[in-house]
Amino acid sequence: MSRPQDIVERALGYSVADGCVVIVAETTEANLRWAGNGLTTNGQMASRSVTVISTMTRGESAAIGVVTRTLGDVQALQELVRASESAARDADPADDYAPLVEDYPHDDDWEADSATTGVEIFSSFAPALGEAFDRSRERSELQYGYAEHQLTSYFIGTSTGLRRRFDQRDGRVQLNAKSDDLTRSAWAGVHTEDFSDVDIAALVDGLHTRLEWARNRIDLPAGRYETILPPTAVADLMTYAYWKASARDAEEGRNVFSKAGGTRIGDQLSDLPLTIRSDPAAPGLTCPPFEIVVASDGALESVFDNGAPIAATDWIADGRLAELVRTRSWAAKTGGQPTAFAGNLIIDAGGTADLDSMIATTARGLLVTSLFYIREVDPQSLLLTGLTRDGVYLVEDGKVVGAVNNFRFNESPIDMLSRAMEAGRSVPALSREWGDYFSRTAMPPLRIRDFNMSTVSAAS
Amino acid sequence: MAQIDPTFLALPARRLADAALGRARELGAEHADFRLERIRVASFNLRDAQLESATDTEDVGLAVRVVHDGAWGFAAGIDLTPDGAARLADQAVATARMSKVLSKDPVVLAPEATYSDVTWISAYELDPFDVAEADRVGRLTELSERLMAADGVDHVDAHLTHVLENKFYADSSGTTTTQQRVRLQPQFTAVQVDRSAGAFSSMRTLASPTGRGWEYLNGVGCDLDGEIAELGDLLAEHVKAPSVEAGRYDLVVDPTNLWLTIHESIGHATELDRALGYEAAYAGTSFATPDKLGALVYGSPVMNVTGDRVVDHGLSTIGYDDEGVRTQEFDIIRDGTLVGYQLNRHMAAQQGHNGGRSNGCAFADAAGHIPLQRMPNVSLKPAPNGASTEELISGVERGIYVLGDRSWSIDMQRYNFQFTGQRFFKIENGRLAGQLRDVAYQATTTDFWGSMEAVGGPDTYVLGGAFNCGKGQPGQVAPVSHGCPSALFRSVNVLNTKSEGGR
């Protein structure tokens, strides 16, 4: 099959549109899945998709055609370009029109081959997992979980002369341990770029500790509790808030960042010195430093912005809402500055305490392991519902005294920030709920006052 | 009468299948199956009647799955050549070898008849891909503009996704199937913004996603024009409606809302792979464990639930599943008692349910993914001479009539759920008495279904559904329908979502 660089050049060569963007994404991935101390499914996959975006000028704006195909056969390329042009020719002017991004200096190695992965990435992980199964059998525990490595090489070319490429490396491990009577359960998850930093034995031992904590079972009623959210749960809640951080929606009065007469930019959302930011260069969480958009979502991302650089941005600085996500089109219409949605999210309040020391300084409160099935209940307040999962622990006088029943919570991540009493040390954290789509996050554990555990769940 | 798309038939499916299955046989696989799939998706978003995005995406690929020395192996790719297909068989056997050391019991598949060279096409009139794009966008624009023109509507979001799915399947027993499905989902949301109060409200059309073609946009199977005509007034009434007082209420739940409660609290809970723990780390398990089959009282005696992949326009409906099993209808809950599970061939053989035969619930959402046990259309039966919705309402002194799905969430064992909706009407002394807002209903699955006093008649029955049912790792998305009548539930816990948010 031809090289992606050649596909980009050839497609741009075929184009007779007023403007053209070609995006090639080459993906390879491998995965292992297990349940009850045995492997269940596995696989490896390779794919290549080509997106052609054609623009046709219409006065001050342009119409657009966006067509994506899996391309095993380069003969289909010309037809793909024509399909994109024909869609653009028939279309009305696009709502999110902005001029295509012009070429600018950068350090990408355009000619480098695509990076690939395969099951061999698990060559030391798989035996370690087998040993973990053995150890779990000895402890009368069961292991469930999933490991995945995915590598995507992106190539973008535009008719304005820009060429950019990026290799995205993403791996994830999720572990769930249960007692063999299935009454006690614990979970851990990590993001990794290459599996070299995954210590499966340590993760499994950590889960064992939590299963031991759960030997003492305590029933608590629904109510508002001082609650320690671990980094993964903070990632669950704040990633959702990030997806809703559209400047356009806020300025149109239709999201949680709107207020009477304007937006909440400048408002103090937390008394803690919280910074919430994105930075494509963040070590261990690297993501594309330029925009790759195959479908516009007018509130957050626009295909017209393909190739535009993504700068590090503070969304919240010192607890104050500093910025919202703004496409180039919306920025031009409103006189604002474009601020691109980036593929990672980092929260830091300068805290140094780890989870253990936050437990040690708790008089009485709940410690959550992870959250599940999070859905928006009220977009106005960004009230979210969901459940605690795989371990809620009662902490008294600085010690975990046992496992509590699970709860359904109803909480808004934005309101919650105003009740954040303490932030611990920010660490890489995999969101359990959204890690399939957004896995690059670093979060501190947060201590929240009056977290709303709305009803009790019988699930264990 | 629709035909299989000739451009799909032009792909060298049989040559690729022969190469892959032949190679797997040479390598000693005791079972091998091959899929060639092409999935074409068009998606349109309009914001305030202006085109925000239009995309046309096609995924074509091939996959080989083997049972080798009792272990599963799977590989998928996009190289549509005999060499490429044979290479996938090599990779699948290689992954099976690696899995062997970590696997427990050898994989055995339930037997199934051989279907040589059969074809199946879903029930639709006009594939939307055969309608000019300008006409598709034109219809969305027209409906958006009409909704924008209504008093009190400040913004309109319109969305349409339609799919043409082609599956070719062949396996080492000699089954060969070629299938085609069409489905679409139109949605219109009206938004009202009160800038001086910093407040906003929205309401969406109730027309469900469906296994139909473009005719659905023109009044076949739903009435979008009628919905658009009344949505503005309904939103205006909603904005002014009083906030609900939290507490216990009788609920009459419309099929446009109840389908999702069925999906979450029955559909997922009766997936046997979940009940056996295969999804324990991700989608979760189920309270309805196999030891309770035939004994678990799931709900009241008026509750009868089936699984099927055969009903016309059902999103899960297909002729043969992704393991070559002919699709069926089967009982899940009879007179309130759990009597059946959703099965694939591996679990049917292992657990012996359904006489040791799969009931056809294997599905992969693309060539790149392994078939999982996925949900059939799981539907609640109406009462043959059952009441109309108005008659159900007339039997309620103090209650709420719930329409349309919105927010949904349920725990990992399918006990505790919480749902909101698009609109809620107060019921006073058997009559509707205006809208309420900020309503969520919350219950434990068996309590809720146990409180179901009556199901409506066949005239109240509607097939609802979703395009986006998620399961598995790597994640897969499946379309599925749920038919149900209106139904009456006594004394359900209702929350006020404003006070839940501390406001």
pLDDT in tens, A371-426: 999 999 999 999 999 999 999 999 999 999 999 999 999 999 999 999 999 999 99
Angle at which helix B13-26 crosses helix B82-100, to 10 degrees, equals: 40
CB A190 within 8 A of CB A428: yes
Neighboring chain A residues of B91 at a CB cutoff of 8 Å: 44
Please give the Cα distance from B174 to B114 (Å, whole number).
6
- Classify the C-alpha dihedral B53-B56-B61-B63 as positive or negative: positive
Nearest CA in chain B to A74: B79
Interface test with B, best of A40, A170, A267, A437 (most B CBs within 10 A): A40
Report chain A residues whose CB lies below 8 A from the CB of B498: 378, 381
Q: What is the pLDDT of residue A396?
A: 98
Q: B346: pLDDT confidence band, cut at 50, 70 and 90?
A: very high
Question: How near does any CA of chain B get to the CA of A94, in Å?
Answer: 6
DSSP state of A115: P
Residue B45 to residue A259, Cβ atoms within 8 A: no
Could you tell me the pLDDT band of residue A40, with boundaries at 50, 70 and 90? confident
Do residues B24 and B92 make contact, with C-beta atoms less than 8 angstroms apart? yes
Cα-based distances in Å from A240 to A385, A434, B156? 12, 8, 23
> What size, in residues, is chain A?
460
Q: What is the pLDDT of residues B236-284, one digit of tens each?
A: 999 999 999 999 999 999 999 999 999 999 999 999 999 999 899 999 9
Given this model, what pLDDT does residue A76 score? 87
pLDDT (tens digit, 9 = 90+) per residue, A260-303?
A: 989 999 999 999 999 999 999 999 999 999 999 999 987 899 99
Mean pLDDT rounded to a whole number for chain A: 96
Quickly state the pLDDT bin for A1 (edges 50, 70, 90).
Answer: low
Q: Is B7 on the interface with A (CB under 8 A)?
A: no
Q: How far is B388 from chain A (nearest CA, A)?
A: 30
Apex B75 CA angle, B70 and B80, nearest 5: 135
| Alpha-carbon span A82 to A228, nearest angstrom | 55
- Owner of token pair 């409606």: B241
Determine the average pLDDT of the residues in B36-52.
Answer: 96
What are the DSSP E strand ranges found in B364-415? Answer: 372-373, 377-380, 398-410
Q: How far apart are CA A178 and CA A204, in angstroms?
A: 11
* Mean of pLDDT values over B294-321: 98
Q: Which residue has the tokens 């006073």?
A: B428
- Tell me B382's DSSP state: P
C-alpha to C-alpha distance for B188 and B224, rounded to whole angstroms:
9
Strands (DSSP E) found in B137-290: 155-171, 176-194, 199-204, 247-253
Residue among A75, A168, A162, A194 nearest A114 (CA):
A168
- Cβ-nearest to A377 among B54, B154, B420: B420
A155 DSSP 8-state letter: E
B43 and A119 within 8 Å at the Cβ level: the answer is no
Residue in chain B lying closest to A458 (CA): B415
Where are chain A's structural domains? 4-211, 217-239+353-457
- The answer to whether A247 touches A256, Cβ cutoff 8 Å, is no
In angstroms, the Cα distances linking A429 to A190, A316, B107, B114 are 6, 19, 36, 49
Q: Does A82 touch chain B (CB under 8 A)?
A: no
Most confident of A33-37, B91-95, B360-364: B360-364
Q: Return the CATH fold of A4-211.
A: PmbA/TldD fold (3.30.2290)
Is A297 in Cβ contact with B45 (below 8 Å)? Answer: yes
Q: How far is A77 from chain B (nearest CA, A)?
A: 13
pLDDT tens sequence across A131-174: 999 999 999 999 999 999 999 999 999 999 999 999 999 999 99
Contact: B200, A408; criterion CB under 8 Å: no
**What is the Cα–Cα distance from A200 to A204, expressed in whole angstroms?**
6
Mean pLDDT over residues A432-436, rounded? 95
Token pair, residue A309, equals 């650089």
- Which residues on B lie below 8 Å from A133 (Cβ)? 102
Chain B residues with beta carbon closer than 8 angstroms to that of A90: 132-134
Euclidean distance between CA atoms A431 and A98, whole angstroms? 34
Residue B110, classed as helix, strand or coil, is: coil
**3-state secondary structure string, B298-336?**
CCCCCCCEEEECCCCCCCCCCCECCCCCECCEEEEEECC
Instruction: Tell me the pLDDT tens digit for each residue of B429-458.
Output: 999 999 999 999 999 999 999 999 999 999
Please give the structure tokens belonging to residue A387: 């459940």
Q: Token match 């044979």: residue?
A: B86
CA distance A35 to B346: 15
Rounded percentage of chain B residues whose pLDDT exceeds 90:
96
> How much is the mean pLDDT over chain B?
96
d(CA A32, CA A25): 23
Q: Does A297 touch chain B (CB under 8 A)?
A: yes
Q: How confident is the model at residue A72 (pLDDT cuts 50, 70, 90)?
A: low
Place B484 in a pLDDT band, splitting at 50, 70 and 90.
very high
The half-sphere exposure of B338 on its side-chain side, counting CA atoms within 13 A, is 26
pLDDT in tens, A324-366: 999 999 999 999 999 999 999 999 999 999 999 999 999 999 9
Nearest one of B404, B406, B465 to B210, comparing CA atoms: B465
Residue from the list B98, B134, B502 with its beta carbon closest to the beta carbon of A119: B98
The minimum CA-CA distance between A66 and chain B, rounded to whole Å, is 5
Q: What does the alpha-carbon distance between residue B189 and residue A436 come to, in Å, rounded to a whole number?
A: 27
Q: In the predicted model, what is the mean pLDDT of residues B300-313?
A: 98
Please write down the long-range contacts of A123-126, taking CB distance under 8 Å and 24 or more positions apart: A124/A195, A125/A32, A125/A195, A125/A198, A125/A200, A126/A32, A126/B98, A126/B102
Report the predicted TM-score, pTM, of the whole model to 2 decimal places. Answer: 0.96
Q: What is the pLDDT of residue B69?
A: 96
In whole angstroms, give the CA distance from residue A18 to residue A158: 11
Q: Which of A381, A266, A251, A258 is nearest to B197 (CA)?
A: A258
Name the residue type at position A319.
G
Q: What is the CA radius of gyration of chain A?
A: 24
Looking at residue A39, its pLDDT comes to 86
Q: Does A259 touch chain B (CB under 8 A)?
A: yes
Q: Measured between beta carbons, which residues in chain B are less than 8 angstroms from residue A41?
A: 72, 74, 370
Give the number of other CB atoms < 10 A from CB of residue A113.
12
Option in A42, A95, A144 nearest B281 (CB): A144
Locate the chain B residue with the closest alpha carbon to A174: B281
The ipTM value here is 0.94
Is-contact B19 B34, C-beta < 8 A? no
Does the beta-carbon distance from B416 to A456 stay under 8 Å?
yes
Mutate to test the interface with A, among B248, B282, B417, B476 (most CBs of A within 10 A): B282
Give the pLDDT score at A119: 84
Residues A77/A50, Cβ–Cβ less than 8 Å: yes
Alpha carbon of B81: minimum distance to chain A alpha carbons (Å): 9
